[in-house]
Chain A
Amino acid sequence: DAGVTQSPTHLIKTRGQQVTLRCSPKSGHDTVSWYQQALGQGPQFIFQYYEEEERQRGNFPDRFSGHQFPNYSSELNVNALLLGDSALYLCASSLVPGAMNTEAFFGQGTRLTVV
Chain B
Amino acid sequence: SQQGEEDPQALSIQEGENATMNCSYKTSINNLQWYRQNSGRGLVHLILIRSNEREKHSGRLRVTLDTSKKSSSLLITASRAADTASYFCATDLYNQGGKLIFGQGTELSVKP
Contacts and interface: CB of A to CB of B under 8 A. Distances in A.
A42 B51 contact: no
A106 interface: yes
Interface residues of A, number: 35
A45 B43 contact: no
Contact of B50 (A33, A55, A101): A101
A97 B41 CA distance: 24
B48 A88 contact: no
A21 interface: no
Interface stretch (B14-22, B66-74, B100-108): B100-108
B40 to A, nearest CB: 6
A106 B42 contact: yes
B2 A98 contact: no
Contact of B31 (A92, A101, A105, A109): A101
A1 to B, nearest CB: 14
B45 A106 contact: yes
B31 A100 contact: yes
Nearest to B53: A100
Nearest to B105: A42
Interface in A20-43: 31, 33, 35, 37, 39, 41-43
| Nearest 4 Cβ contacts at the A-B interface | A97-B98, A42-B102, A108-B42, A106-B43
Interface of A: 4, 6, 31, 33, 35, 37, 39, 41-45, 48, 55-56, 58, 88, 90, 92, 94, 96-109, 111
